[in-house]
Amino acid sequence: MREMTCIVCPIGCQLRADPTKMTVSGNRCPRGRKYALEELTSPRRTVTSTIRIIHYQKPEHDAQLSAMQSALVSGRPMEDCDRSAFKPLVDFFCPSANHIEGRLPVKTAQDVPKDRIEDIMQAIHHLVVTTPIHMGDVIIDNIADTGVALIATRTLLEL
Amino acid sequence: MLFYMVITMTKPSSDKADVVIIGGGVVGTSIAYSLSCYDLRVILLEKDNDVSLGATRANSGIVHAGYDPIPESLMARLNVEGNRRMSALCKDLDVPFETCGSLVISRSEEEDQIIQQLYERGIRNGVPELKILSADATLDREPYLTRDVHSSLFAPSAGIVMPWTLCIAMAEVFARNGGEIRLETCVSGLNSSTSGIRVQTNRGDINARFVVNAAGLFSDEIHNMADRPDFKILPSRGEYYLLEKNQGKWAKSVIFSCPSPITKGVLVARTAHGNLIVGPTSETISDKEDTSTTAEKLHEIREKASSLVPCINFSENIRNYSGIRANSDRHDFIIRRVPSVPGLIDVAGIKSPGLAASPAIGPYVVDLLRREGLQLQMNSSILRDPNRLKRKVVRFHDMSPQERASLISTDTRYARMVCRCETVTEGEIRDAIHAPLPARTIDAIKRRTDAGLGRCQGGFCAPRIAAILAEELHIKPTDILQDKEGSYLFTGPTKIAPESTCDAVAVTKADTISGRTDSMPAEVKHCALAIIGAGPAGLAAASKAYAEGITDIIVFERDKETGGILNQCIHTGFGLRVYNETLTGPEYAERAAKEIENTDISIFTDTMVLDIRSDRLITAVNRKDGLFFCHADAIILAMGCRERTRGAIAIPGSRPSGIWTAGTAQRYMNIEGCMIGSQAVILGSGDIGLIMARRLMLEGIHVKACVEVMPEPGGLSRNIAQCLEDFNIPLLLSHTVTEIKGKERLESVVIAQVDSKRDIIVGTEKEITCDTLLLSVGLIPENELTKQAGLTLDKNTGGPYVVNATTCLTDGFFACGNVLHVHDLVDDVTLEAHKAAYEAAAFLKANGNIHIDDKESISGPMSSVTHTQNTPNSLRILPSDAIRYVIPQYLSLPINNDIIDISFRVRQSYERAEIIIRRSDKLEVYRERKSHVKPGEMQKIHFSSSMLMAPEINQNVDLILDITEGN
Ligand SMILES: Cc1cc2nc3c(=O)[nH]c(=O)nc-3n(C[C@H](O)[C@H](O)[C@H](O)COP(=O)(O)OP(=O)(O)OC[C@H]3O[C@@H](n4cnc5c(N)ncnc54)[C@H](O)[C@@H]3O)c2cc1C
Ligand code: SF4
């Protein structure tokens, strides 16, 4: 018998799940049963985090931007693209500069396997997008080969 | 490094000086100030990155009258003279000062005698207007004193001053008149020669004709660099409590307990800033820089102070701190030429009353220098314009509305509020950064502008100040310091892969105005409904009121965008009830904002409401419209809440950087993209703390433990599961942090187990190495405006009293969301905001402020409630001892056939519970069984009001809500 707390809604029922018989008790609704069974076989979580976002104002930096965006589109880590082009751009953080970097909140569109969270976080570290962006926009449609999309959870027209 | 370079950018041609002053405390700067009117080359050296960081920043701020020092001593003479000069000096330098008088309280016959002796001494020292007061006369002056007063010594000339402001002001005037201040410059040697003294420092040598040793705690060491040892500094630490301004009322004058040969007294005083200061203790220590506080001494302060002024409420603590007195092995101040070293003047052993004496010490030392042969030639530009020795600073907080408006018309940066607790504007922050002695750290800004000094202790303003500092100084956020060198805030940016070499950090642009900002004319505006705050409560209230037919709505929001705290809550778990799906905080906020997108509701972002009067006149300020007024027919308060800080829980120890409230840390990590450390401990198991534990782990900050003082966790069970258990973070229940260690940045915390009375169990202490401590120790409704509007607050909820659901006891005021009581779930906030909208709409319609053809459009549950007279015609709902609070506190009469909703919190947890509502005439009206009732989770019951009816109910009957163990 395994004891666990249901995390699907704020009530947080105390569930008891039997891994051999695959039975669940303690749940006040069917979502709890589904959660417990999944937890026994392949636990899943939604990952939320932030990614870097740059507010772009001047055309002079097109080269850097396209380097970043090609990395983004291909899903390749930033490391693979031209670092020398990337570096000066992200050094600007003063409001007087042409580019301002901020953070965009994101989430996985569905639950992902718990043991893939690390890989997703690693992949997230390498992403950069530019404004404008809208809530629900897909940043990358298959994050860290999980088959799950990473989506923006807010609209940022400028920083 | 950085700081030094900026300040001494104009490097002097030769490193020669007429006078070198060592030490930038109030004594050193007073001497510098006194020399600034002469044609001399004077250099002031300070080892730290700002002036006033020694004894000057952590003392009582009392300008003693002068009855304490032994007659004929230098101390007696300079104290009385300094006191006499203080008022004019502070006026010239625009430093807060007040002559409030002091009382030494006697509580026995022996103490009467001591007071008599002090009186006689004071008379000999020349203290003006000194008198002994009878018990009655004492209590007349100080009605909150203990009743066992015998007599007191009253010294009307004593006062209170902001010590670091005085020091900074003198340094600024000195710098503006050509004096040079070298910060982060530590003296390492003094070599005497025929031409003068060679001063060796870490930044090169200086040849000086005269050297003034005003190095405070280190003055013996400086002396010994040039001469054989003579005197010795004996560091003595004093610990303090600094309490909220609402406690300032307990002391009109400075109140001292009577000193005795065995115990040193304690003092209770209002600070020049309006807070209550209580302390200090006195303890000889060996480390000259160990400004920790200790549980034992803090306890001693509470005991002593409470016996003197019993009503002090120590739970209103903002901060504990300690200062170190540079006592010496001499009785008197040591101010004299050093006979064997020509040109060296010691100004040492300046213990209390050094602050009071400082205005006299400067001129005294100048005279000493003159007698030693220093030529004093008045500077011609000062002769022409004596105002060069004065200073004036902008303090928005102290200005009248007219002054504020005209200030804003010169520069709109004074219309943007950075510190909400102390009403400090962006303009003032920038002024401080560009002052003659520039502020370069978060604490330096605090000392100059008061930003961060208030009840939230920088939780709100520090991120904004960090952004302004980064912008103005062109530095990276990782270079921003809290205080002294080493007290860094951030370890780097988030979202940088560990192996990566690039080092970008983003701080939100300080100047962007995004979101919607509508303009408003400068004259008094009018609206039907004003909503203060555009978090989830304010947004939901606005959209629902609009749907109810109230179209003339203004929403005021101090942040640059709507959404409130949700914007930084990037995790999921919001909206299951309201939107039927699980959303992240920003998604919930954006949906709520969308609901009013196509309406003509005006949303004023970046707009701070400064004041609300009980007649519903709102004073607000923003950069676009300046200072403006708005009269509203109804007001919905939706200002949310703030976090409890370290002061509120009084953890002893040092005060390094790296201690954050969980919400502030959340903002830095999620919005600004700053990494706040590498190894963390979380104190408190509230939901924000739990959520942050997971965030830190995901971002690569190792969370070593979550420590909770109660025997059960404070947050939702699901968060324990998915934030702690998922990451194997130990949850230590019945444990607390007992000590904080680390000088500049946090180095470790000591934790220990507590018993059922929350007392620490000796022997269970354990030290955990960490550079980050997050505090998740509770939220407090943000009700400063509510109080200004004259509404009284319920001690149990921290919010205003309400009738039915959200109607306040003053006509036309409504409150919802966390400003009313702290909610666990945003969905509940939205639903409560809907009720506020219904009730406000009903009020507006009933009072004829709004004419709507279709009266039936009022569809809410409270539609039939009449609102004109609240308190007299209503029924009280009282919590029993087992209930922590109940909302609403009143139901209006007559009660119609409505469903009544009651929310409450319990004090302990119940496996199975019976919830009972009784009338005060013992009749039971409601009973419900409920399992798993926990203090951390808000409870709700609904029942039909018909249950209250029979036999007839009237305002003489109360309802009592109770909970008992069920079976
Ligand atoms: C707990 C407490 C309570 C007090 N209460 C009162 C009161 O109510 N009223 C009152 O009148 N007085 C009071 N005092 C005393 C008063 O605060 C001090 O007398 C006064 O602040 C001393 O100022 P200072 O400039 O001598 O010392 P400090 O403020 O310590 O300044 C000395 C400066 O010298 C610098 N320095 C040291 N060594 C070097 C070096 N090698 N090179 C360069 N710079 C160096 C230090 O960093 C420091 O900034 C109190 C003091 C304490 C500690
Ligand atoms: S079982 Fe159902 S009701 Fe219980 S916590 Fe899970 S989702 Fe919520």
Catalytic residue list contains B64: yes
How many angstroms is it from A110 CA to the middle of ligand 2?
19
CB B185 within 8 A of CB B46: yes
Q: What angle do CA B352, B357, B359 make, to 5 degrees?
A: 145
As a residue count, chain B comes to: 967
pLDDT band for position A18 (cuts 50, 70, 90): very high
Nearest CA to ligand 2 atom 6: A32
Specify the pLDDT at position B954.
67
B230 pLDDT band, cuts 50/70/90, is very high
The confidence band for A57, taking pLDDT boundaries of 50, 70 and 90, is low
- Can you give the pLDDT at residue B478? 83
Quick check: helix, strand or coil at residue B592? Answer: helix
Angle at B666 between CA B661 and CA B668, to 5 degrees: 100
Q: Least CB-CB distance to B504: which of A6, A91, A114?
A: A91
Range with the lowest mean pLDDT among B140-154, B302-316, B459-473?
Answer: B459-473
With bands split at pLDDT 50, 70 and 90, how would you rate the model's confidence at B514?
Answer: very low
Percent of chain B with pLDDT over 90: 71
The token pair at B375 is 């030529």
Tokens of B841: 């709409």
Handedness of CA B95, B98, B99, B100 (dihedral sign): negative
pLDDT digits (tens, 9 = 90+) for B257-280: 998 766 668 999 999 889 999 989
CA angle B25, B27, B32 (to 5 degrees): 95
Average pLDDT over residues B679-697: 95
ipTM exceeding 0.90, yes/no: no
| Per-residue pLDDT tens digits for B462-475 | 888 988 888 888 88
Point out the least confidently predicted range of B196-200, B551-555, B847-851, B929-933: B847-851
Domain ranges of chain A: 2-41, 48-152
Q: For position B304, what pLDDT does the model report?
A: 93
| B430-452 average pLDDT score | 94
Determine the Cα–Cα distance for residues B680 and B768; give it in Å rounded to an integer: 9
* Cα B145 → chain centroid: 26
Q: Are strands B874-879 and B958-965 parallel, antiparallel or unpaired?
A: parallel
A93/B514 CB distance under 8 A? no
Q: Which of A5, A83, A158 sits opposite B720 (nearest CB)?
A: A5
* Residue linked to tokens 């200004």: B788
Token pair 């914007």 in the structure block, residue:
B567
Q: Coil, helix or strand for B637?
A: strand
Mean pLDDT of B338-365: 96
Residue B896 clears pLDDT 80, i.e. is over it: no
Query: Chain B residue closest to A87 (CA)?
Result: B502
pLDDT for residue B474: 81
pLDDT at B952: 66
Q: Decide which of B894 and B252 is more confident.
A: B252
Structure tokens, A149: 């999309």
pLDDT digits (tens, 9 = 90+) for B525-541: 899 999 999 999 999 99
Which atom of ligand 1 is least distant from the CA of B240? 1
pLDDT at B503: 33
Q: Cα(first)–Cα(last) distance of chain B, in Å?
A: 69
pLDDT of residue B504 exceeding 50, the answer is no
User: What pLDDT digit, counting tens, does each position of B829-855 carry?
Assistant: 999 999 999 999 999 998 876 544 333
Task: Work out the average pLDDT over B237-247.
Answer: 92
Distance CA B530, CA B527 (A): 7
pTM > 0.90: yes or no: no
Q: What is the pLDDT of residue B496?
A: 67
Contact A95 B509 (CB under 8 A): yes
Paired sense of beta strands B267-270 and B254-257, if any: antiparallel
Residue A70: its pLDDT value, please?
55
Of the pLDDT bands very low, low, confident and very high (cuts 50, 70, 90), residue B194 is confident
Nearest to B84 by CA among B105, B64, B108, B112: B64
Inter-chain CB proximity B717 and A12 less than 8 Å: yes
Picking from B124-138, B284-298, B888-902, which range would have the lowest pLDDT averaged per residue?
B888-902
Contact present, B135 and B149 (Cβ < 8 Å): yes
**Residue B922: which pLDDT band, with cuts at 50, 70 and 90?**
confident
Cα B43 to Cα B16: distance, rounded to the nearest angstrom: 9
Q: Is the pLDDT of residue A76 over 50?
A: no
Cα–ligand 1 centroid distance for B275 (angstroms): 22
Report yes or no: B937 and B912 within 8 Å, Cβ to Cβ: no
**Identity of the amino acid at B721:** A
Interface membership of A42 toward B (CB under 8 Å):
no
Contact B509 A4 (CB under 8 A): no
Distances (CA, A) of B185 to A32, B199, B200, B204: 65, 11, 10, 9
**Res. B865: pLDDT tops 60:** no
